[in-house]
Amino acid sequence: MAVHLLATLDTKGEEAEFVRRALLASGVPVVLVDTGCLGEPRARADVTRDEVFLAAGTSLAAVRAKNDRGEAVTFAAKGAEAIVRAAHAKKQLDGVLGLGGGAGTTIGTAARRALPLGVPKVMVSTLASGQVAHYVGTKDVFMLHAVTDIAGLNRISRAVLSRAAQAMAGMAKSGPIRASVSDKPLVAASMFGVTTPCVERARAVLEEAGYEVLVFHATGSGGRTLEALAESGMLDGVLDVTTTELADELVGGVLSAGPERLTAAGQRGVPQVVSVGALDMVNFHARDTVPAQFASRRFYQHNANVTLMRTTPAENKELGRQLGAKLAAARGPAELFFPLRGASAIDKEGQPFDDPAARKELLAGLRATRGTAPLHELDLHINDAAFAEAMAQRLIELMRAGKSATAPR
């Protein structure tokens, strides 16, 4: 077992060697991976750049011949990812630590995002004090701001790099995080402020039945994280109450979780119970950020920084079709619950987004594409306790049926 240290040794060789010595002094074995390309290495690598580019399906000579820095970074990221994946699969990886500016951060974080949750991941980056969502993704990556550029050793860089090495050494020496024998089966749920009563009641039912519930805020990153957990195999079930991110993806709001939302659980065969929470709305920031083409639409100012736009009947029909099709393609049990009286706190009689015609079209879209996925139409509002309890109880039944079917005979 060893920590894999990733750096472009043509530009960060001195700094990488400093970190390697610090890790070794802490009693942590190191595999130094050279992700550089165009210049000459300034430190000895354990995994050479030739090996990195071969792992990416090309060669160092081919990349150098093109003399394209962007392409070199792309291939280096691909090769680094393949190398750390292979080391982890062989149980030869204690963690990954990287150093870099723009290119190094792109390469290093691609490798980290390839690893499961719990594997130590540290990135010392000149970009760590800014917007790092696209570097971190849905994984537990530690981003440490380099403060100065990583260009030589000085009183600041030595302090930052030493702390990075100490942090990685502490995590690596503590060993993997092991599940407790008392850990409960794990369920993920999706929630928004306008569906909170539903999810809170459903969570209570699930916890009373012996499940641990992780609640994700359906703000784009929350949905992507839920999908990543479902794909990882960590989940026993999914209570996807709040599928609003589909509306932002379709219409162009700011909280899209991407086109892969609501696919991972189905592909893994994880039992899922799904509803249409907050599909009545598309999310924007302050009112003056709403695109001009939507000027005539119906809006609700949630607060100074959040503007909600009502989805139209036509958009609802398409959202229903998309949601139904995703569940029809699931390889495991997947069921739909539809609240006939409204899909959010502001989609009900007397509230600003109440629109029976839009709900009717949403239901029509679901019916058109759901295939054999059961559809439960309840004459309730999504935030009614009875609706939440019905969803939770059905998910419990599906999860228990799955456990019984796979139990040894």
DSSP labels, 101-162:
SHHHHHHHHHHHHTSPTTS-EEEEETTTTS--HHHHTTS-PEEEE-SS-SSS--HHHHHHHH
- State residue 232's pLDDT score: 85
What DSSP character marks residue 374? -
- State residue 176's pLDDT score: 81
What DSSP character marks residue 347? B
Q: Which two tokens stand for residue 233?
A: 């195999």
CA dist 265 and 395 (Å) reads: 13
SS3 212: strand
Which residues, at least 6 apart from 378, have a Cβ–Cβ distance to it below 8 Å?
Answer: 337, 338, 339, 340, 386, 387, 390
Is-contact 358 280, C-beta < 8 A?
Answer: yes
CA dist 248 and 246 (Å) reads: 6
Backbone angles phi, psi at 299, to 5 degrees: -125, 160
Q: What is the DSSP string of 147-192?
A: SS-SSS--HHHHHHHHHHHHHHHHHHHH-PPPPPTTPPPEEEEEE-
Average pLDDT per consecutive 10 residues, the chain (409 residues; last block may be shorter): 95 95 97 92 95 96 90 94 95 95 90 87 92 82 92 93 96 79 85 96 97 95 92 94 98 96 97 98 95 96 93 98 98 98 97 98 98 98 98 98 57
- State residue 408's pLDDT score: 40
Q: What is the DSSP string of 16-78?
A: HHHHHHHHHHTT--EEEEE---SS--SS--SB-HHHHHHHTTS-HHHHHHHT-HHHHHHHHHH
Which residue bears the tokens 């695109």? 291
- State residue 405's pLDDT score: 53
Q: Which domains does the chain have, with CATH numbers?
A: 2-174 (3.40.50.12020), 186-406 (3.40.50.12030)
- State residue 82's pLDDT score: 96
